[in-house]
Structure 1
């Protein structure tokens, strides 16, 4: 039995028990794209969900509540578990919303067994009614999740201005790295070197943020990001009259240094957000530090000091 077919059954049952009460003849099934599914006396609402899982968790409605019936102030959630026997749990809507998940838009996660003081609103320290009535509830949600991000994590569903990303026709389809043109590959390589200086470090997770950015922002899947920067071994490069053997990632940096600095300048908002630094000198110092962290071979002093003296020229 699908949820859409179960909703009218719940509504009919409510009409029966409403007889000889103040709710008689006020029960209305709205269903469809409206929230909640059933309205009582214009003020109360019942949202109906069904599940065939053994637990009491399911995906709820959009946090934006743009389809909410305007007159409804108090909503209850009825979840029916459709296994061998029918089981039903009913709770106030805001008491069983444990978290937020993102499908095509941010939605609440329902847990009918959720303990008190463990709702998403308790975690965010904002009452449900205050959040839903806010002109821009997404700002509160974004702020909460940003404060709780671990290193290497990102909110893929928002853009640089903390707005929910709108799907554009050019990004509906995912693309494989191998299917890009050479120019596109080089452009993304430059962006990677500019935006994510941690790739010059020694961490085994140093490519994670770049991989996430490619997938979430650019709809590009790259199975081996490391090869993009490191494949091919060391190459000869002339620095201050000396021919040195430099790693591929350093060669690609040296060969594109002007474009990389231009990219940093053009993407100021992104850089400030991603690095949590705003001034030009702070960005420069952070970028240089991450570059020098990778310089561990015998020629380290030669090309590290060279880069350190070359990059500031582009910021003048």
Structure 2
């Protein structure tokens, strides 16, 4: 949802099928415009896509009950588009190959009351761009926790896999609840009896300042540990440096966004001290352990970079880690021996491995 714009259409109430025909035509226009101006879409952001949706809806509305009634209005509203005070459209876009994103707060009220149905118009703004729309409640897969409980949107979700199917309540009934968070807590505790506490919520569902279920690192499956290590290597380039406090931001990220606490976080990156590293049929001595682990996780890092919603590229990531890698390896390397790893060799190896992955 945009914090900037609301699109409103005011006209006598047409049937739901008529509105869906408008959305289908709007999608077709998006497809056509993308074919003619691919670069505009692939470089565009969420605001670009919201404005584009408003424009194509105006075009699609010609000779329909909605003609001349689609407007773009500033303000904080949900959903972004309202037609005849009966139908709404929330505009979502991502800079990744995933058809998923974070939705709105589960406790957020609808700005325009009395809406009969809300839809999502979704844009995947990376090559090749894709556009689709669905009824809002049909693509709400789960409830994720960031700074407040929010829906997780999955445009490819099957009908019986929505969070409402799991909770045994319809979306329409859920949004009418006085305390939807409390209903979610009851569902969560019922289906996760062995889970650790939901420390981000009080007993009556009131939100606290920190959000998430506490999980001990030691109890996580190995796959989840590996994924969190990969995310940390991408998001926090300072861990490749030499500062003593370089893991503080990682610890904060894991606790506040992933609900994970770890008493010995540093060990997951550096345990083992200096090691011998084999790279391109050559052995390098006295290499900090974190760089051996970096090489180990490269395939997963490449995969994650391909899927990140913020559009971070390999070059972006390498630019961010480069000064920390240089600082660390320059501190370690006080000789010019050929078996001492340099930042140039390491970064070149990463680029080469990435190119091999792309070619495969």
**TM-score of the two chains, using structure 2 as the length reference:** 0.46
The match for 1:148 is 191
Secondary structure in structure 2 of the residue aligned to 1:69: coil
1:243-288 CA-to-partner distances (Å, cap 9, x unmatched) read xxxxxxxxxxxxxxxxxxxxxxxxxxxxxxxxxxxxxxxxxxxxxx
Q: 1:121·1:127 contact (CA, 8 Å) conserved in 2?
A: yes
The match for 1:134 is 177
The match for 2:248 is none
Distance 2:185 2:155 in 1: 25
The match for 1:223 is 263
Give 1:48 deviation, angstroms.
Answer: 0.7
1:182-231 CA-to-partner distances (Å, cap 9, x unmatched) read xxxxxxxxxxxxxxxxxxxxxx87xxxxxxxxx78xx9x7726xxxxxxx
* Mapped pair 1:76 → 2:119: yes
Give 1:138 deviation, angstroms.
Answer: 1.4
Q: 1:47·1:77 contact (CA, 8 Å) conserved in 2?
A: yes
The match for 1:265 is none
Give 1:86 deviation, angstroms.
Answer: 2.1
Number of residue pairs aligned between Structure 1 and Structure 2: 179
Give 1:153 deviation, angstroms.
Answer: 1.9
Map 1:1-316; keep pairs closer than 5 Å: 1-30=44-73, 32-165=75-208, 167=209, 223=263
Q: 2:100·2:155 contact (CA, 8 Å) conserved in 1?
A: yes
Runs of 4+ in 1 over 6 A off after TM superposition: none
Distance 2:97 2:107 in 1: 29
Secondary structure in structure 2 of the residue aligned to 1:117: helix
Give 1:32 deviation, angstroms.
Answer: 4.1
> CA 1:46 to 1:159, structure 2 compared with 1: closer, same or farther past 3 Å?
same
Secondary structure in structure 2 of the residue aligned to 1:29: strand
Distance 1:53 1:73 in 2: 31
Distance 1:60 1:34 in 2: 13
Give 1:29 deviation, angstroms.
Answer: 2.6
Give 1:150 deviation, angstroms.
Answer: 4.7
Distance 1:111 1:31 in 2: 27
Q: 2:185·2:205 contact (CA, 8 Å) conserved in 1?
A: yes
**Superposition RMSD on alpha carbons, in Å?**
2.7
Q: 1:63·1:108 contact (CA, 8 Å) conserved in 2?
A: yes
Distance 2:131 2:74 in 1: 19
Decide which structure has the larger Cα Rg and report it. Answer: 1
Distance 2:186 2:58 in 1: 43
> CA 1:42 to 1:65, structure 2 compared with 1: closer, same or farther past 3 Å?
same
Secondary structure in structure 1 of the residue aligned to 2:132: strand
Q: 1:29·1:39 contact (CA, 8 Å) conserved in 2?
A: no
1:73-99 CA-to-partner distances (Å, cap 9, x unmatched) read 311101100112321011000000000
Gaps of 5+ in 1: 173-203, 206-214, 225-316
Secondary structure in structure 2 of the residue aligned to 1:60: strand
Distance 1:36 1:83 in 2: 24
1:42-70 CA-to-partner distances (Å, cap 9, x unmatched) read 21111111112212111001111235322
Give 1:152 deviation, angstroms.
Answer: 4.4
**TM-score of the two chains, using structure 1 as the length reference:** 0.52
Distance 2:74 2:188 in 1: 32
Q: 2:89·2:119 contact (CA, 8 Å) conserved in 1?
A: yes
